[in-house]
A = this chain, B = another copy of it.
Amino acid sequence: MNRRSFIRAGVLGGVAVMSSPLINAIQGGVTNGEKRSGDESSADKIVVGRASRMVMRFFPYELQLRHAFNLAKYSRTTTPDVQVEIDYEGVTGFGEASMPPYLGESVESVMRFLSQVDLGRFSDPFQIEEIHKYMDGIAPGNNAAKAAVDIALHDLTGKLMGQPWHKIWGLDASLAPATSFTIGIDTPEVVRQKVAEAAPYKVLKVKMGLDNDKELVETIRGCRPDVPICVDANQGWNDRERALEMCHWLAERGCLFVEQPMAKENLDDAAWLTERSPLPIIADEAVKRLADVLPLKGAYDGINIKLMKSCGMHEAYQMAVLARALGMKVMLGCMTETSCAVSAAAQLAPLAEYADLDGNLLIANDRFDGMKIVNGKVTLDPTKPGIGVDLI
A129 to B: closest C-beta gap in Å: 5
Interface presence of A223 (CB below 8 A): no
* Complex alpha-carbon distance, A347 and B304, angstroms: 31
> Which residue of the partner chain, among B129, B157, B290, contacts A325 with CB atoms under 8 Å?
B290
- Give A188-203 interface residues, CB cut-off 8 Å to B: none
Copies in the complex: 2
A229 to B: closest C-beta gap in Å: 29
Map CB proximity to B onto A156-194 as digits: 1 under 8 Å, 0 otherwise: 010011110001111110000000000000000000000
Interface presence of A211 (CB below 8 A): no
Interface presence of A249 (CB below 8 A): no
Interface presence of A314 (CB below 8 A): yes
**List of B residues within 8 angstroms of A314 by Cβ:** 170
- Give A287-317 interface residues, CB cut-off 8 Å to B: 290-291, 293-294, 314
**List of B residues within 8 angstroms of A126 by Cβ:** 163, 167-168, 170
* Complex alpha-carbon distance, A339 and B134, angstroms: 33
Map CB proximity to B onto A320-352 as digits: 1 under 8 Å, 0 otherwise: 011001100000000000000000000000100
* Complex alpha-carbon distance, A291 and B326, angstroms: 9
* Complex alpha-carbon distance, A46 and B151, angstroms: 37
Interface presence of A130 (CB below 8 A): yes
Chain A interface residue count: which class?
Answer: 20 to 34
Interface presence of A318 (CB below 8 A): yes
Residue of B whose beta carbon sits closest to that of A171: B129
* Complex alpha-carbon distance, A18 and B299, angstroms: 49
**List of B residues within 8 angstroms of A318 by Cβ:** 321, 325
**List of B residues within 8 angstroms of A169 by Cβ:** 129
* Complex alpha-carbon distance, A128 and B166, angstroms: 11
> Which residue of the partner chain, among B130, B162, B326, contacts A161 with CB atoms under 8 Å?
B162
- Apart from A129-B170, A161-B161, A322-B322, list 6 A-B contacts with CB within 8 A: A124-B167, A129-B172, A129-B350, A170-B314, A290-B325, A293-B325
A244 to B: closest C-beta gap in Å: 29
* Complex alpha-carbon distance, A169 and B129, angstroms: 8
**List of B residues within 8 angstroms of A161 by Cβ:** 161-163, 168
* Complex alpha-carbon distance, A322 and B318, angstroms: 8
**List of B residues within 8 angstroms of A290 by Cβ:** 325
21 A-B residue pairings within 8 Å (CB atoms): A126-B163, A126-B167, A126-B168, A126-B170, A127-B172, A129-B169, A129-B171, A130-B172, A161-B161, A161-B162, A161-B163, A162-B162, A168-B168, A170-B314, A293-B325, A294-B325, A318-B321, A318-B325, A321-B322, A322-B322, A322-B325
* Complex alpha-carbon distance, A275 and B210, angstroms: 50
A80 to B: closest C-beta gap in Å: 29
Map CB proximity to B onto A117-130 as digits: 1 under 8 Å, 0 otherwise: 00000001011111
Residue of B whose beta carbon sits closest to that of A170: B128
A358 to B: closest C-beta gap in Å: 25
* Complex alpha-carbon distance, A126 and B383, angstroms: 13
**List of B residues within 8 angstroms of A170 by Cβ:** 126-129, 314
A380 to B: closest C-beta gap in Å: 12
* Complex alpha-carbon distance, A170 and B325, angstroms: 21
* Complex alpha-carbon distance, A314 and B321, angstroms: 11
**List of B residues within 8 angstroms of A171 by Cβ:** 129
**List of B residues within 8 angstroms of A162 by Cβ:** 160-162
Residue of B whose beta carbon sits closest to that of A167: B126
Residue of B whose beta carbon sits closest to that of A162: B161
* Complex alpha-carbon distance, A163 and B325, angstroms: 28
A364 to B: closest C-beta gap in Å: 35
A213 to B: closest C-beta gap in Å: 35
* Complex alpha-carbon distance, A163 and B125, angstroms: 12
